[in-house]
C-alpha cells in the first residue's frame, strides 16, 4: 500500500504553512485531501518537518474525523444519523443505502468504489435526512432516491 | 453610487444553495439583462432570510414582497410580471416565519438584526447599519474598565451552553497575570441540530470581528482566534473576506481608529471532533494536539492558550456585544426576563411545519415557539416530546411546555436550554428508538480520556440497542440510572456529564414505555424491530 507515494506535494504543502505547531492540523487536512488519506510515509515526513515525535503526529491524525489514516473507497459517503435527521426518516434511508451497496456503515465495497461513514450533524437538519458524497450534499432524502443518486458515481 | 428603482435580494446560504439558489440568481441576472432592466434593478446576495424549508427566498424592495420557494422556471414570471409590469406574483408569495402571524409575540432581533438584510460580503453595508460604531466608541471614549462595567451590568450570559456571566469572565481574564492574552471565538458548533452560529457568521461576519476587538480592548489582548468548524466552508470564506476588509478600513491591525490599540485575528479550522467545542479541548486543538479536554481548574481566564489568560466565548455571545455597547446595559435588560436578559436564537427542527431559525426574547414558552413560530406539528399529529439544547439536552414532555425558556427557569424545572436547538417529536416517535441516535452520538464522540465517559457511553448505548431489539433485561433501567449518575458526577468534561441527561430525563418522563419494551418485548408504537 505504501508504494508510489510522491512526497514532493507534501513538502510543498508543509513549506507553504511553516512548522508552527498551530499549523499542524491545517497541514494534515490539506495532506489528507491531496493523498485521500494520510499514508505513514507522509506522516513520517510531517514528523521530521515539525520536529515532533511520530506518535504525536499519529495521535493528532487519528483523533479527528476529517483525517483518515487508512485508504478508503473512491467515493466517500457520509451519512447523518443524528437525532434531528433520525426523527424525519434517516433510518429507512440508511437501510436502503446499505442494501443497495451491500455494506454497512464503516465498510468499503469490494470494488473499492464506495465507503459509508457517518458524519456528525452538518447543520442542515432543516432538510434532513442528509448525506454527503465526496463534496456533494443531498438533503430531503427518501429511500427510493438512493439508487438514482448512487448511479451518478458508478 | 448608481440609483436603482428596485432591489432584488436572493438568499444565498447553505440551504438555499442546495436547492439551486445560485442558478436562480444567475437566471435572474440574465433575464434582467434581456429586458434591459439591469440598470434599474439591482440583484443582491443575502444570507439566510430566516427560514430553511421553502428556499431559495427572493425579497423585493421597496415593496418588501417575499417569494419562496423560487425555482429557475419562476424567474420569467417574476421579472415580466413584478419587475416589468409591477404586478405581484400571488402564487409565489410567502409570509416569513419571523414575521409572526399572531401579533402576541414580539420578535426581538438583536443578534440577527442584520442577517438577511445586509450583504455579508460588503463591509460598507455593515457600517451603514451602525457597524463598528461600538468599536469606535470603545477605543476613543472608554477605558477598559468601563467596557467591563457595561458588559457586566448588562447581565449578558454566555450563549454557548453553560450560561456563565460574560462580564465576569472578561474581568477574570483582565486581572490574570501573563502575556500575551488571547480572545477566542468558539465557532466549532457541532451540537446536533444547532446551526445558529453558522447563520450568524454567514449573515453578519463583521459583527463578530467587531466584538472580538472590543473584547481584546477590554481585557488587554492583541490576538484573537476564530475556531471554525472544518465543515463550514462558506463561513471560513466569509470571515477571511471580512478580516481583509476590516484591515483595509483600519478596524483591525495596528492603530485601530487612529488609537494606539492593535488587534489581529487568526482563523483556525477544526478537523471534525465534537468535543473540540469544549473550551479547553478547543485550546489543545489550536495548539495542534488531540482535542482532549484539560483537567480544570485552572480555567482558561487564568490558564488558556499556550498557558496564557484566555477568553473563550460563543459566537452568539459575541454577537450581543456591539449593540450592548451602542445602546447601553439598560436597553439590553429591557429584553427577556429579570434573571436572563436579552434574546435567544433557536433552531427549530424535527416534526414541525416551519423548521428554521428564530430569535425571541428570553422567557418565551416552548408551547408558543411551537405554535406561533413553528406553525404547529404537521399532519394533525399530537406533540409527544421535545429535546431542548441539542443531543446533550433534556427530554421534555407535554407537561413542561409552559416553562418560560430562560436559563434560570429551565434549570429550576430540571431541564437545560443549552445551545438553543429545539427538536420537536410527534406522537409517532418511540422513546427507545429516539435514545438510539442520542446514546450512539456520545459513544462515538467520547474522546476516551476519562474512564466514566469512555466506558459509560459504550455501555449505555449497548443497553439501549439491546432494549430496542427486544433483549432488555429486568435490571436494565436501574443499570442505566446507575451508569448515568456516575457519569454525571465523575466525568472530566461536559460531554460525559451531559451524556447522562437525555437518558435520565427519558426514564423520568417515559419509564412506562421503556418498561413495555423490556418486560413485554413490545414496541407500543411499532417502531423498534422486536
Ligand atoms: C462537549 C462540549 C461541546 C461544546 N461545544 C461548544 C460549541 O460547539 N460551541 C460553543 O460555543 N460552546 C461549546 N461548548 C461550551 C464551551 O466549553 C464554553 O463553555 C463556551 O464556548 C463558552 O462561551 P460562552 O461563555 O460565551 O457561552 C461545549 C462544551 C462541551 C462540554
Ligand atoms: S468526559 Fe468524555 S469527552 Fe470529556 S474528557 Fe472524559 S472521555 Fe473525554
Ligand atoms: S442532524 Fe443531520 S444534518 Fe443535522
> Cis ω on the peptide bond leading into residue B201 (within 30° of 0)?
no
Are the beta carbons of A125 and B191 separated by less than 8 Å? no
Give the pLDDT score at B331.
94
Q: Are strands B41-46 and B65-67 parallel, antiparallel or unpaired?
A: unpaired
Please tell me if residue B438 touches chain A, with a CB cutoff of 8 Å. yes
Whole-number Å distance, alpha carbon B279 to ligand 1 midpoint, is: 6
Among A20, A120, A133, A139, which would you mutate to test the B interface (most chain B Cβ atoms within 10 Å of its Cβ)? Answer: A120
Give the pLDDT score at A48.
96
Q: Chain A contacts of B52, Cβ < 8 Å?
A: 124, 126-127
Tell me how close the Cα of A37 comes to any Cα of chain B, in angstroms: 13
For ligand 3, say whether the CB of A80 is within 6 Å of any of its atoms: yes
Please tell me if residue B429 touches chain A, with a CB cutoff of 8 Å. yes
Q: Do B312 and B279 touch, CB atoms closer than 8 A?
A: yes
Please tell me if residue A113 touches chain B, with a CB cutoff of 8 Å. no
For ligand 3, say whether the CB of A88 is within 6 Å of any of its atoms: no
Give the pLDDT score at A37.
93
Measure CB to CB from residue A29 to each of B189, B194, B230 and give the nearest one: B230
Please tell me if residue B384 touches chain A, with a CB cutoff of 8 Å. no
- pLDDT tens for A59-94 read 999 999 889 998 999 999 999 999 999 999 999 999
Mean pLDDT within B118-128: 91
> In this model, does residue B102 exceed pLDDT 50?
no
Give the pLDDT score at B372.
85
- pLDDT tens for B211-254 read 999 999 999 999 999 999 988 888 999 999 999 999 999 999 99
Q: Chain A contacts of B287, Cβ < 8 Å?
A: 21-22
What ipTM was estimated for this complex? 0.88
Ligand 2, residues B293, B442, B460, B483: which to mutate, most atoms within 8 A of Cβ?
B293
As to burial, measured by CB atoms within 10 angstroms (0-12 exposed, 13-18 middle, 19+ buried), residue B63 is exposed
Are the beta carbons of B271 and A139 separated by less than 8 Å? no
Give the pLDDT score at B348.
92
Measure CB to CB from residue B349 to each of A65, A90, A125 and give the nearest one: A125
Give the pLDDT band of residue B103 (cuts 50, 70, 90). Answer: very low
For ligand 1, say whether the CB of B211 is within 6 Å of any of its atoms: no
Give the pLDDT score at B397.
96
Whole-number Å distance, alpha carbon A80 to ligand 3 midpoint, is: 6
Are the beta carbons of B287 and A21 separated by less than 8 Å? yes
Using the structure block, give the residue that is written with the C-alpha cell 442584520: B114
Mean pLDDT within B318-342: 95
Q: Quick one: closest CA in B to A87, which residue?
A: B350
Give the pLDDT score at A10.
95
Give the pLDDT score at B239.
97
Give the pLDDT score at A100.
96
SS3 B74: helix
> In this model, does residue B11 exceed pLDDT 90?
no
Are the beta carbons of A24 and B425 separated by less than 8 Å? no
> In this model, does residue B482 exceed pLDDT 60?
yes
For ligand 3, say whether the CB of A121 is within 6 Å of any of its atoms: yes
For residue B122, give Cα distances in angstroms to B15, B239, B242, B249: 21, 12, 8, 12
Please tell me if residue A22 touches chain B, with a CB cutoff of 8 Å. yes
Which bound ligand lies closest to the C-alpha atom of B417?
1
Mean pLDDT within A45-72: 94
Ligand 2, residues B448, B457, B488, B489: which to mutate, most atoms within 8 A of Cβ?
B448
Are the beta carbons of A29 and B271 separated by less than 8 Å? yes
Among A121, A124, A138, A139, which would you mutate to test the B interface (most chain B Cβ atoms within 10 Å of its Cβ)? Answer: A121
> In this model, does residue B427 exceed pLDDT 60?
yes
- Percent of all residues in chain B with a pLDDT value above 70, rounded to a whole number: 96
Calculate Rg over the CA atoms of chain B.
24
Which bound ligand lies closest to the C-alpha atom of B158?
1
Q: Number of C-alpha atoms within 13 angstroms, CB side, residue B481?
A: 9
Using the structure block, give the residue that is written with the C-alpha cell 445558529: B196
DSSP state letters, B342-390: SEEEEEEEES-SS-EEEEEETT-BHHHIIIIIS---GGGPPEEEEEESG
Please tell me if residue B469 touches chain A, with a CB cutoff of 8 Å. no
Higher pLDDT residue, B55 or B521?
B521
Mean pLDDT within B189-207: 93
Domain residue spans of chain A: 7-63, 75-151
> In this model, does residue A2 exceed pLDDT 70?
no
Q: How many residues does chain B have?
A: 530
**CA B25, CA B27: separation in Å to the nearest integer?**
5
The pair phi, psi for residue B346, each rounded to 5°, is -120, 150
Give the pLDDT score at B1.
38
Higher pLDDT residue, B315 or B101?
B315
Q: Chain B contacts of A88, Cβ < 8 Å?
A: 350-351
Give the pLDDT score at B225.
98
Are the beta carbons of B15 and A60 separated by less than 8 Å? no
Give the pLDDT band of residue B99 (cuts 50, 70, 90). Answer: very low
For ligand 2, say whether the CB of B293 is within 6 Å of any of its atoms: yes
> In this model, does residue B439 exceed pLDDT 90?
yes
DSSP state letters, B135-198: HHHHHHH--HHHHHHHHHHTT-B-TTTT--BHHHHHHHHHHS--SS-EEEEEE---STT--HHH
Please tell me if residue B351 touches chain A, with a CB cutoff of 8 Å. yes
> In this model, does residue B457 exceed pLDDT 50?
yes
Give the pLDDT band of residue B107 (cuts 50, 70, 90). Answer: low
DSSP state letters, B244-285: HHHHHHTSSBSSGGGSS--BEEEEEE--S-GGGGSHHHHHHH
Write a three-state SS string for B405-418.
CCHHHHHHCCCCCC
A2-6, B158-162, B357-361: least confident range: A2-6
Mean pLDDT within B184-205: 94
Give the pLDDT score at B383.
97
Give the pLDDT band of residue A16 (cuts 50, 70, 90). Answer: very high
For residue B262, give Cα distances in angstroms to A49, A120, B220, B252, B265: 32, 37, 10, 7, 11
Give the pLDDT band of residue B64 (cuts 50, 70, 90). Answer: confident
Query: Which residues contact residue B478 at a Cβ distance below 8 angstroms, ignoring those fewer than 6 apart?
Result: none
> In this model, does residue B14 exceed pLDDT 50?
yes
For ligand 1, say whether the CB of B493 is within 6 Å of any of its atoms: yes
Give the pLDDT score at B3.
62
Give the pLDDT score at A79.
96
Give the pLDDT score at A3.
53
Mean pLDDT within A136-140: 86
Give the pLDDT score at B206.
98
Tell me how close the Cα of B347 comes to any Cα of chain A, in angstroms: 9
As to burial, measured by CB atoms within 10 angstroms (0-12 exposed, 13-18 middle, 19+ buried), residue B515 is middle
Mean pLDDT within A39-57: 96
Q: Which domains does chain B have, with CATH numbers?
A: 6-96 (3.40.30.10), 123-331 (3.40.50.11540), 343-426 (3.10.20.600), 431-519 (1.20.1440.230)
Indicate the average pLDDT of chain B: 92
Are the beta carbons of B445 and A120 separated by less than 8 Å? yes
Give the pLDDT score at B434.
97
- Cα A27 from chain centroid (whole Å): 16
Mean pLDDT within A37-58: 96
- Percent of all residues in chain B with a pLDDT value above 90, rounded to a whole number: 74
Mean pLDDT within B372-396: 92
Q: Indicate the CATH number for domain A75-151.
A: 3.40.30.10
Give the pLDDT score at B489.
96
**CA A116, CA A106: separation in Å to the nearest integer?**
6
SS3 content of chain B, % helix, strand, coil (to 5): 45, 15, 40
User: What is the reported pTM?
Assistant: 0.86
Amino acid at each position: 500500500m505504501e508504494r508510489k507515494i510522491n512526497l514532493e506535494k507534501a513538502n510543498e504543502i508543509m513549506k507553504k504553512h511553516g512548522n508552527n505547531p498551530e499549523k499542524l492540523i491545517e497541514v494534515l487536512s490539506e495532506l489528507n485531501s491531496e493523498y485521500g488519506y494520510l499514508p505513514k510515509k507522509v506522516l513520517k515526513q510531517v514528523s521530521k518537518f515539525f520536529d515532533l515525535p511520530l506518535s504525536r503526529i499519529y495521535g493528532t491524525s487519528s483523533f479527528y474525523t476529517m483525517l483518515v489514516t487508512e485508504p478508503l473507497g473512491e467515493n466517500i459517503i457520509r451519512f447523518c444519523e443524528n437525532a434531528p435527521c433520525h426523527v424525519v426518516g434517516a433510518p429507512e434511508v440508511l437501510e436502503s443505502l446499505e442494501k443497495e451497496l451491500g455494506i454497512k456503515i464503516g465498510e468499503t465495497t469490494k470494488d473499492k468504489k464506495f465507503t459509508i461513514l457517518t458524519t456528525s450533524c452538518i447543520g442542515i437538519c432543516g432538510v434532513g435526512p442528509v448525506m454527503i458524497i465526496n463534496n456533494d450534499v443531498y438533503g430531503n432524502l427518501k429511500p427510493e432516491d438512493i439508487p438514482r443518486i448512487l448511479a451518478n458515481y458508478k | 453610487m448608481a440609483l436603482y428603482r428596485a432591489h432584488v435580494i436572493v438568499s444565498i446560504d447553505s440551504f438555499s444553495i442546495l436547492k439551486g439558489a445560485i442558478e436562480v440568481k444567475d437566471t435572474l441576472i440574465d433575464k434582467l439583462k434581456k429586458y434591459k432592466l439591469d440598470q434599474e434593478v439591482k440583484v443582491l446576495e443575502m444570507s439566510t432570510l430566516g427560514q430553511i424549508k421553502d428556499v431559495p427566498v427572493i425579497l423585493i424592495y421597496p415593496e418588501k414582497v417575499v417569494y419562496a420557494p423560487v425555482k429557475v422556471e419562476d424567474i420569467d414570471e417574476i421579472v415580466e410580471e413584478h419587475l416589468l409590469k409591477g404586478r405581484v406574483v400571488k402564487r409565489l408569495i410567502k409570509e416569513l416565519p419571523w414575521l409572526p402571524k399572531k401579533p402576541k409575540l414580539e420578535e426581538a432581533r438583536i443578534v440577527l438584526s442584520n442577517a438577511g438584510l445586509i450583504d455579508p460580503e460588503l463591509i460598507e453595508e455593515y457600517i451603514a447599519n451602525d457597524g463598528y460604531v461600538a468599536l469606535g466608541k470603545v477605543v476613543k471614549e472608554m477605558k477598559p474598565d468601563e467596557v467591563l462595567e457595561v458588559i457586566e451590568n448588562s447581565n449578558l450570559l454566555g450563549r454557548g451552553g453553560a450560561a456563565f456571566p460574560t462580564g465576569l469572565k472578561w474581568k477574570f481574564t483582565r486581572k490574570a497575570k501573563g502575556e500575551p492574552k488571547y480572545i477566542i471565538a468558539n465557532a466549532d458548533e457541532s451540537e446536533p441540530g444547532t446551526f445558529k452560529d453558522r447563520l450568524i457568521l454567514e449573515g453578519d461576519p463583521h459583527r463578530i470581528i467587531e466584538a472580538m476587538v472590543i473584547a481584546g480592548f477590554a481585557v488587554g489582548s492583541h490576538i484573537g482566534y476564530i475556531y471554525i468548524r472544518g465543515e463550514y466552508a462558506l463561513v471560513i470564506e466569509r470571515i477571511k473576506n471580512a478580516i481583509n476588509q476590516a484591515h483595509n478600513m483600519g478596524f483591525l491591525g495596528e492603530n485601530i481608529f487612529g488609537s494606539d490599540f492593535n488587534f489581529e485575528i487568526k482563523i483556525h479550522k477544526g478537523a471534525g471532533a465534537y468535543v473540540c467545542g469544549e473550551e479547553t479541548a478547543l485550546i489543545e486543538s489550536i495548539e495542534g494536539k488531540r482535542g482532549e479536554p484539560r483537567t480544570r481548574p485552572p480555567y482558561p481566564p487564568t490558564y488558556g492558550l499556550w498557558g496564557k489568560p484566555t477568553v473563550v466565548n460563543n459566537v452568539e455571545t459575541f454577537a450581543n456585544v456591539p449593540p450592548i455597547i451602542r445602546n447601553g446595559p439598560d436597553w439590553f435588560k429591557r429584553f427577556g426576563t429579570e434573571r436572563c436578559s436579552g434574546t435567544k436564537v433557536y433552531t427549530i427542527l424535527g416534526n414541525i411545519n416551519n423548521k428554521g431559525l428564530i430569535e425571541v426574547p428570553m422567557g418565551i414558552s416552548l408551547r408558543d415557539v411551537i405554535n406561533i413560530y413553528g406553525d404547529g406539528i404537521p399532519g394533525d399529529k399530537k406533540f409527544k416530546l421535545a429535546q431542548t439544547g441539542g443531543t446533550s439536552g433534556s427530554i421534555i414532555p407535554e407537561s413542561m411546555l409552559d416553562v418560560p425558556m430562560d436559563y434560570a427557569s429551565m434549570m429550576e424545572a430540571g431541564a437545560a436550554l443549552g445551545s438553543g436547538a429545539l427538536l420537536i417529536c410527534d406522537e409517532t416517535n418511540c422513546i427507545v428508538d429516539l435514545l438510539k441516535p442520542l446514546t450512539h452520538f456520545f459513544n462515538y464522540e467520547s474522546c476516551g480520556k476519562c474512564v466514566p465517559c469512555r466506558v459509560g457511553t459504550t455501555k449505555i448505548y449497548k443497553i439501549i440497542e439491546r432494549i430496542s431489539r427486544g433483549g432488555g433485561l429486568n435490571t436494565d433501567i436501574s443499570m442505566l440510572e446507575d451508569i448515568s449518575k456516575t457519569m454525571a458526577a465523575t466525568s472530566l468534561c461536559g460531554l460525559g456529564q451531559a451524556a447522562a441527561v437525555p437518558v435520565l430525563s427519558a426514564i423520568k418522563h417515559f419509564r412506562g414505555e421503556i418498561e413495555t419494551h423490556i418486560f413485554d418485548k413490545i414496541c407500543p408504537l411499532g417502531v423498534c424491530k422486536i
